[in-house]
């Protein structure tokens, strides 16, 4: 094949300023990649906050049924899944926007409500996709300093200017696992002018037991500028299928549905997500496993003399003195994949997802060995 890069035109230079400055999202290392690189088997992946339970049987059977119709385009309106969400959340269908994972929804929101003339506020250490989406539309990112590794809502409020069009809040935040209470969120929303769209990203909400954790959906009535985003990738165990959603006032949903690709969610994802919403046993089993795993991992880290950021998600961020990169690499060699956080500006932290009890133990044993 001829050399396709041999051109007189510089296609990198031709890209928009924002896109040129992008660094692609760094996902957790896939198991197969580590197998290829180090020739290891029996690898444990605790790098992407996935559900260790395996797929719900209801979801699996829905996927199987969909196979017969694989030659057909999916239902672009996502009617069946929206109907299931209406029942599950008690919202109107007109408030829902479906996405190819909630990342897709975050991107739709940014494309609809941020532009090169506007500013987007998010916190230091906040989920990486806010920065990527903001930069890809050439909007100005306004990053406010974190407080105790979490969002400082006062700082975020003070950062508002007449150019602010969008604010991202991760509750809880990934990678730090910190959360904001209902009163903090409500107070913030009360102060933010109505013309600024606020995204409350609740990707991990189903795991959370804390009584002061807010239910974003219940705040929508009061705050028409609020968008709540959620996902089927975590507690519902469907990360590979890519399905997430936003709930918002119908006018915002109308706008998001205009920028959405016509078939952004595939039939398998639509069917599996609709089915899993009725598998409450799966959800509660996953929650219990996660609660126990959080204690197991936190206790294990403490026994190793390591400090961690208390987390309400299905992951824990911990500090290593040697530098995260080295410990990450040494863990890989033990067949354990975690997430380095240098790209979040946290070079001395690593994030580990909560797995099965045996996987958590494998991680703790490997960590003890490499430290
Ligand atoms: C805070 C947060 N929001 C959104 C997402 C996106 O998840 P998905 O696109 O799989 O729905 C993630 C995934 O890790 C996340 O941690």
* 308-309, strands of its sheet edge to edge: 308-309, 315-319, 349-353, 339-340
Ligand 1 centroid, distance to 22 Cα (angstroms): 19
Q: Is the CB of 203 under 6 A from ligand 1?
A: yes
Q: Are strands 244-248 and 226-231 parallel, antiparallel or unpaired?
A: antiparallel
**Among 50, 169, 174, which is best to mutate for testing ligand 1, by the most ligand atoms less than 8 A from CB?**
174
Least confident of 3-17, 90-104, 186-200, 235-249: 3-17
pLDDT at 5: 67
The verdict on the CB of residue 102 being under 6 Å from ligand 1 is yes
For residue 127, which atom of ligand 1 is closest to its CA?
1
Ligand 1 touching residue 353 (CB < 6 A): no
Decide: 101 in ligand 1 pocket, CB within 6 A.
yes
Closest CA to 316 of 331, 305, 336, 300: 300
Least confident of 39-43, 57-61, 311-315: 39-43
Strand partners, 74: none
Q: From CA 88, how far away is CA 90, in angstroms rounded?
A: 6
Looking at ligand 1, which atom is closest to the CA of residue 242?
10
Q: Is 342 helix (H, G, I), strand (E, B) or coil?
A: helix
Contact between 142 and 114 under an 8 Å Cβ cutoff? The reply is no
pLDDT surpassing 80 at residue 25: no
Tell me how far the alpha carbon of residue 127 lies from the centroid of ligand 1, in angstroms.
8
pLDDT at site 32: 86
Answer yes or no: is the C-beta of 174 below 6 A from any ligand 1 atom: yes
Give the start-to-end residue ranges of the domains of the chain: 26-54+281-370, 57-276
Residue 314 in contact with ligand 1 by CB distance below 6 A: no
More confident site: 198 or 17: 198
10 alpha carbon – ligand 1 mean position (Å): 34
Cβ burial 187-217 (10 Å sphere, 16+ → b, else e): ebbeebeeebbbbbbbbbbbbbeeeebbebb
The DSSP element (H or E) to which 352 belongs, if any, is strand 349-353
CATH tag, 26-54+281-370: 3.90.1150.10
| Binding site membership of 56 for ligand 1 (Cβ less than 6 Å) | no
Among 178, 231, 311, residue to substitute to test ligand 1 (most atoms within 8 Å of Cβ): 231
Inform me whether the pLDDT recorded for 120 exceeds 90: yes
Instruction: Quote the CA–CA distance of 313 and 48 in Å, as a whole number.
Output: 12
Helix (H) or strand (E) holding 363: helix 357-370
Cα of 113 from ligand 1 centre, angstroms: 20
Measured between alpha carbons, how far is 175 from 125 in angstroms, rounded to an integer? 7
Pocket test for ligand 1, best of 102, 122, 151, 351 (most atoms within 8 A of CB): 102
For residue 19, pLDDT over 90 is answered with no
Distance (Å) from CA 314 to ligand 1 centroid: 12
Atom index in ligand 1 nearest the CA of residue 244 equals 11
- Given a cut of 90, whether residue 38 has pLDDT beyond it is no
74 lines ligand 1 (CB under 6 A): no
Residue bearing the CA closest to ligand 1, atom 7 = 102
Instruction: Say yes or no to pLDDT of 6 above 80.
Output: no
Residue 207 phi/psi, 5° resolution? -85, -10
List, for residues 199-257, the tens digit of each pLDDT value. Answer: 999 999 999 999 999 999 999 999 999 999 999 999 999 999 999 999 999 999 999 99
Q: Which atom of ligand 1 is nearest to the CA of 175?
A: 16
Model pLDDT, residue 149: 97
Segment 317-346 shows an average pLDDT of 94
The length of the chain in residues reads: 371
Q: What is the pLDDT of residue 12?
A: 87
Query: Which one of 234, 243, 273 would you pick to mutate in the ligand 1 pocket, going by the greatest count of ligand atoms within 8 A of its CB?
Result: 234
pLDDT for 132-191, tens place per residue?
999 999 999 999 999 999 999 999 999 999 999 999 999 999 999 999 999 999 999 999
29 C-alpha to ligand 1 centroid (Å): 16
Ligand 1 atom nearest 102 alpha carbon: 11
Percent of the chain clearing pLDDT 70 (strictly above): 99
CA atoms of 119 and 163, how far apart (whole Å): 6
φ and ψ at 85, to 5 degrees? -70, -35
Residue 2 pLDDT level (bands cut at 50, 70, 90) = low
Report pLDDT for 1. 60
Return mean pLDDT, the chain.
95
Q: Which atom of ligand 1 is nearest to 172's Cα?
A: 1
Q: Stretch 258-264: mean pLDDT, rounded?
A: 95
**Tens-digit pLDDT profile for residues 284-307:** 999 999 999 999 999 999 999 999
CB-count exposure of residue 361 (10 Å: 0-12, 13-18, 19+): middle
What CATH architecture applies to the domain 57-276? 3-Layer(aba) Sandwich (3.40)
Decide: pTM greater than 0.75. Answer: yes
């Amino acid at each position: 094949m001829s050399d396709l890069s041999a051109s007189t035109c510089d296609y990198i230079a031709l890209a928009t300023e924002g896109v040129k400055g992008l660094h692609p999202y760094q996902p957790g290392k896939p198991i197969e990649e580590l197998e290829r690189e180090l020739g290891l088997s029996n690898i444990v992946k605790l790098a992407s906050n996935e559900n260790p339970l395996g797929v719900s049987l209801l979801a699996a059977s829905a996927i199987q049924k969909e196979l017969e119709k694989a030659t057909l385009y999916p239902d672009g309106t996502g009617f069946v899944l929206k109907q299931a969400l209406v029942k599950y959340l008690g919202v109107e269908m007109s408030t829902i926007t479906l996405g190819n994972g909630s990342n897709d929804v975050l991107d739709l929101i940014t494309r609809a409500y941020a532009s090169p003339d506007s500013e987007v506020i998010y916190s230091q250490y906040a989920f990486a996709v806010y920065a990527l989406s903001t930069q890809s539309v050439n909007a100005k990112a306004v990053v406010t300093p974190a407080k105790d590794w979490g969002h400082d809502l006062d700082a975020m409020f003070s950062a508002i200017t007449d150019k602010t069009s969008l604010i991202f809040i991760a509750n809880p935040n990934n990678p730090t696992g910190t959360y904001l209470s209902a009163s903090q969120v409500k107070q913030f929303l009360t102060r933010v002018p109505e013309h600024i769209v606020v995204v409350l990203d609740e990707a991990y909400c189903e795991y959370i037991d804390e009584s002061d954790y807010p239910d974003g959906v219940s705040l929508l009535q009061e705050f028409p500028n609020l968008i709540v985003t959620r996902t089927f990738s975590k507690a519902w165990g469907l990360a590979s299928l890519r399905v997430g959603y936003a709930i918002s006032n119908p006018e915002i949903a109308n706008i998001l549905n205009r920028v959405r690709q016509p078939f952004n969610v595939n039939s398998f994802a639509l069917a599996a997500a609709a089915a899993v919403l009725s598998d409450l046993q799966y959800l509660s089993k996953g929650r219990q496993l996660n609660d126990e795993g959080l204690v197991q991992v936190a206790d294990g880290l403490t026994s190793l003399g390591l400090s961690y950021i208390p987390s309400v998600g299905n992951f824990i961020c911990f500090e290593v003195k040697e530098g995260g990169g080295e410990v990450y690499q040494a863990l890989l060699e033990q067949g354990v994949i975690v997430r380095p956080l240098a790209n979040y500006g946290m070079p001395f932290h690593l994030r580990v997802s909560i797995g099965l009890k045996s996987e958590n133990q494998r991680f703790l044993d490997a960590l003890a060995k490499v430290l």
